[in-house]
């Protein structure tokens, strides 16, 4: 079945209405909507409106606070720890980034570690908030454990993404946004729907043996760190995921390692909670705290142009710059609409019914 | 042939004498020696004393300035750009880290991007300089092009390593230090000596076809980014290597992408030089700019303990924490000496002869 195309404006007003019904302030509802739908627009379907009902279930279970009082717990001129008060990570991360940007304005860089938050959508969206200020943005988050460290059968880390966004001049910005695993969980979900196996090197079974079963996570298996196995550098992907955990949770006082709260509301909370909620880490670096922003952007254009001109191995696969695929999806979907699978549409209609809203489609 | 064991003290006094003969100040000679031999002590043989003659050749070729005047080109309370004046990266990076540490003392974090430097040895050594100050340290550097981005046959990036060091309490510190490639060049050199092939997924030939030839770099081939191929996330390793280039060179005004100067002095300089020398990026985050250092260290102990207790897949392969293998090598080599291949020993004797020194061995 072909997915149905929904205009961005339709999904936007619907999603905003849902967040308002949850009790979010108008400002927070708008912020949450923009962060959530940025995933759909950028082609990362797993993290967008398909998760709206998941956020609602967490709110119903009392695991998301729709009216949080954000509070800076501790700060210095270039740093802060923000308590998200159990709010939507979609909102909390943006507030944290705003603090980082303000600090960068003052002293060159700003770094905010966040405790007591929830899932924040795609890391790239938050990192990109810095771009309009001629700053480099960074965003990371920890997440519930799906990933086994090298040599282990235990799931100890989340997919713990890292995003870095840097402005260019004539060229579009550089936006790297990557889970520190070989494959993100969303890619497994696509294979599950198609009843296909995974490539080798993506997952292992509950004993830690290699597997290609796209359903293996439900059977006690785990995602593999970027690098897949020791011989191909999985210890590096594991180390990067660990660094994200340190910055997001150990610096802030959030839960870490296997004790990060799960996204599905039906999964019980971990028995132990060494910290508060989920942790993020947001950073902003003012370009002209290092050199003139114009010079930097000229160099970025030159850098990007160099990579676009690199020789392709196959003519049909051109060399891309981080951010290219997502930007192409953005342009297509803004113009033509966002494709939603039938299961997602049904889910959204259930959400509509719950809140006496309607999901219009023209 | 078994490698010969040399006591650290022997190699230390010899290396220091060589740097003094090059004209380094006593302070710089000590700093360079400690950074260089940290690689040997930590088991990263490719980056240690085996490269001493390489540094000398660069100095002879006028590509390393033994008496640099380091200069802060631009700064804010949390940032600086340092001009390394063509000095030894081994020294310049430490001076940059000292600036970052001082800024972190003042405003919570410090970030120094470095232009006009040279190869700095192992990233982990520089990151670890922050530990004694109860700070998290970060170190990155770009390097001459050996790595092809996903879908390309052109070498566009260096192995561009990232290191992050964080203190713990009872446990030893967490030290991640990783090239953003599937395998570092040093691993190829080991296979070359043994006349063995590489595993699949480490290198490609000059057309971009998969290869297992450990000599392929000399034949126009390339190292592959962490992830090996698109299906296993090589676009992520490429993005991480690119981020290192942006922070190290685009922020500082150093050379970037395929225009980074080579390490071997017999390789001509790139025809184009869009910046100055090689670039690094050093960062220091004061723990108590976020939360009490004691609390952080207790959490780190808990985190590390959790990973050490994770179930191993095979009993003979215990789960490690980033920094464990290097620390074990350090302890062994401090106690028993540093094993040097015959070819390295011969090379050091040539160096000794050149400078009228002797490499004693007991």
Does A269 contact B at CB distance below 8 Å? Answer: no
Question: For the residues B59-80, what does the mean pLDDT come to?
Answer: 98
Contact call for residues B118 and B86 (beta carbons, < 8 A)? yes
CATH assignment of B69-182+224-322?
A: 3.30.1370.60
Question: For the residues B203-208, what does the mean pLDDT come to?
Answer: 98
List CB contacts (< 8 A) between A228 and chain B.
228, 232
CA–CA dist A310, A270 (Å, integer): 48
Give the CB-side neighbour count of residue B57, counting CA atoms within 13 A: 16
How far, CA to CA in Å, does B193 sit from each of A233, B45, B179, B219?
21, 13, 21, 17
CA–CA dist B24, B34 (Å, integer): 14
How far, CA to CA in Å, does B66 sit from each of B20, B29, B50, B262?
9, 9, 19, 18
How far, CA to CA in Å, does A9 sit from each of A55, A94, A259, A327, A343?
20, 21, 38, 18, 20
Angle (CA) A33-A64-B287 rounded to 5° is: 95
| Structure confidence at residue A3 (pLDDT) | 87
| Structure confidence at residue A186 (pLDDT) | 84
How many CB atoms within 10 Å of residue B186? 16
Residue B200: alpha-carbon gap to chain centroid = 25
A156–B322 C-beta distance less than 8 A? no
Q: Which residues contact A335 (CB under 8 A, 6 or more apart)?
A: none
CATH assignment of A1-67+336-362?
A: 1.10.1530.10
CA–CA dist B116, B87 (Å, integer): 8
How far, CA to CA in Å, does A256 sit from each of A158, A252, B235, B302?
9, 10, 27, 10
Give the pair of three-digit tokens for residue B292: 């009490």
| Structure confidence at residue B194 (pLDDT) | 87
Buried b (16+ CB within 10 A) or exposed e, B236-260: bbbbbbbbbbbbbbbbbbbbbbbbb
**Confidence band of A17 (pLDDT split at 50, 70, 90):** very high
**Does the pLDDT at position B80 exceed 70?**
yes
**Confidence band of B95 (pLDDT split at 50, 70, 90):** very high
For B:117-146, CB contacts with A below 8 A are: 136
| Structure confidence at residue B351 (pLDDT) | 97
Contact call for residues B83 and B115 (beta carbons, < 8 A)? yes
| Closest chain B residue to the Cα of A201, Cα to Cα | B232
| Structure confidence at residue B184 (pLDDT) | 87
Reported as a single tens digit per residue, the pLDDT across B255-268 is 999 999 999 999 99
Question: For the residues B192-221, what does the mean pLDDT come to?
Answer: 96
Nearest to A285 among B111, B258, B286 (CB): B111
**Confidence band of A1 (pLDDT split at 50, 70, 90):** low
Does A356 contact B at CB distance below 8 Å? Answer: no
- Chain A interface, mutation test: which of B236, B237, B284, most A Cβ atoms within 10 Å? B236
List CB contacts (< 8 A) between A286 and chain B.
76, 79
List CB contacts (< 8 A) between B180 and chain A.
236
Reported as a single tens digit per residue, the pLDDT across B124-177 is 999 999 999 999 999 999 999 999 999 999 999 999 999 999 999 999 999 999
Nearest CA distance, B46 vs chain A (angstrom): 17
B109–A78 C-beta distance less than 8 A? yes
**Confidence band of B189 (pLDDT split at 50, 70, 90):** confident
The string of DSSP letters for B45-110 reads GGGTGGGHHHHHHHHHTT-S-SS---EEEEEETTEEEEE-TT--HHHHHHHHHHHHHHHHHHHSEE
For A:23-52, CB contacts with B below 8 A are: none
CATH architecture of B1-67+337-362: Orthogonal Bundle (1.10)
Question: For the residues B55-75, what does the mean pLDDT come to?
Answer: 98
Nearest to A250 among B81, B176, B296 (CB): B296
- Chain B interface, mutation test: which of A155, A165, A227, most B Cβ atoms within 10 Å? A227
Q: Where are the domains of chain A?
A: 1-67+336-362, 68-182+224-322
Does A102 contact B at CB distance below 8 Å? Answer: no
CATH assignment of A68-182+224-322?
A: 3.30.1370.60
**Does the pLDDT at position B7 exceed 60?**
yes
Question: For the residues A292-321, what does the mean pLDDT come to?
Answer: 97
List CB contacts (< 8 A) between A257 and chain B.
303, 306-307
List CB contacts (< 8 A) between B302 and chain A.
274
B306–A257 C-beta distance less than 8 A? yes
**Confidence band of A361 (pLDDT split at 50, 70, 90):** low
| Entry pTM | 0.98
Nearest CA distance, B19 vs chain A (angstrom): 31
B286–A76 C-beta distance less than 8 A? yes
Question: For the residues A312-330, what does the mean pLDDT come to?
Answer: 96
Does A302 contact B at CB distance below 8 Å? Answer: yes
**Does the pLDDT at position B362 exceed 80?**
no
CA–CA dist A68, A53 (Å, integer): 20
Reported as a single tens digit per residue, the pLDDT across A40-65 is 999 999 899 999 999 999 999 999 99
CA–CA dist B226, A234 (Å, integer): 9
**Does the pLDDT at position B118 exceed 90?**
yes
B239–A176 C-beta distance less than 8 A? yes
A77–B242 C-beta distance less than 8 A? no
Nearest to B81 among A81, A250, A290 (CB): A290
Nearest CA distance, B133 vs chain A (angstrom): 16
CA–CA dist A265, A63 (Å, integer): 8
Nearest to A300 among B77, B174, B250 (CB): B250
Nearest CA distance, B118 vs chain A (angstrom): 20
Reported as a single tens digit per residue, the pLDDT across B299-344 is 999 999 999 999 999 999 999 999 999 999 999 999 999 999 999 9
Q: How many CB pairs under 8 A join A and B?
A: 264
Contact call for residues B148 and B242 (beta carbons, < 8 A)? no
Average pLDDT over chain B reads 96
A291–B252 C-beta distance less than 8 A? yes
Nearest to A108 among B78, B176, B291 (CB): B78
CA–CA dist A9, A39 (Å, integer): 15
Tell me which residue of A50, A20, A13 sits closest to A34, measured CA to CA: A13
**Does the pLDDT at position A206 exceed 70?**
yes
DSSP conformation class of B231 = G
Nearest CA distance, A120 vs chain B (angstrom): 20
Angle (CA) B234-B239-B242 rounded to 5° is: 130
């Amino acid at each position: 079945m072909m997915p149905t195309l929904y205009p961005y404006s339709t999904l936007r007003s619907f999603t905003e209405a849902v967040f308002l019904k949850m009790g979010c302030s108008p400002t927070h509802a708008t912020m949450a909507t923009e962060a959530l739908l940025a995933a759909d627009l950028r082609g990362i379907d797993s993290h967008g409106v398909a998760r709206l009902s998941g956020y609602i279930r967490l709110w119903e279970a009392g695991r998301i606070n729709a009216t949080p009082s954000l509070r800076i717990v501790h700060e210095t001129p270039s740093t802060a720890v923000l308590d998200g008060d159990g709010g939507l990570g979609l909102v909390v991360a943006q507030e944290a980034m705003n603090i980082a940007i303000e600090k960068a304005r003052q002293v060159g860089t700003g770094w905010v570690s966040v405790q007591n938050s929830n899932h924040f959508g795609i890391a790239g969206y938050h990192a990109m908030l810095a771009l309009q200020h001629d700053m480099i943005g960074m965003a990371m988050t920890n997440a519930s454990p799906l990933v086994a460290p090298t040599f282990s059968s235990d799931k100890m880390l989340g997919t713990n993404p890292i995003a870095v966004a840097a402005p260019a001049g004539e060229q579009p910005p550089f936006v790297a946004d990557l889970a520190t695993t070989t494959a993100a969980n969303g890619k497994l979900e696509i294979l599950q729907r198609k009843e296909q196996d995974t490539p080798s090197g993506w997952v292992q079974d509950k004993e830690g043996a290699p597997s290609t079963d796209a359903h293996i996570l439900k059977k006690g298996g785990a995602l593999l760190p970027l690098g897949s196995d020791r011989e191909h550098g999985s210890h590096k992907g594991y180390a990067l995921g660990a660094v994200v955990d340190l910055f997001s949770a150990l610096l802030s006082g959030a839960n870490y390692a296997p004790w990060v709260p799960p996204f599905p509301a039906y999964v019980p909370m971990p028995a132990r909670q060494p910290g508060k909620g989920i942790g993020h880490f947001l950073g902003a670096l003012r370009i002209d705290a290092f050199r003139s922003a114009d010079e930097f952007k000229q160099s970025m254009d030159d850098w990007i142009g160099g990579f676009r001109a690199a020789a392709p191995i196959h003519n049909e696969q051109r060399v891309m710059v981080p951010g290219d695929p997502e930007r192409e999806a953005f342009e297509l979907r803004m113009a033509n609409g966002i494709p939603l699978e039938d299961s997602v549409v049904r889910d959204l209609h259930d959400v509509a019914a719950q809140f006496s809203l309607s999901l219009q489609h023209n």
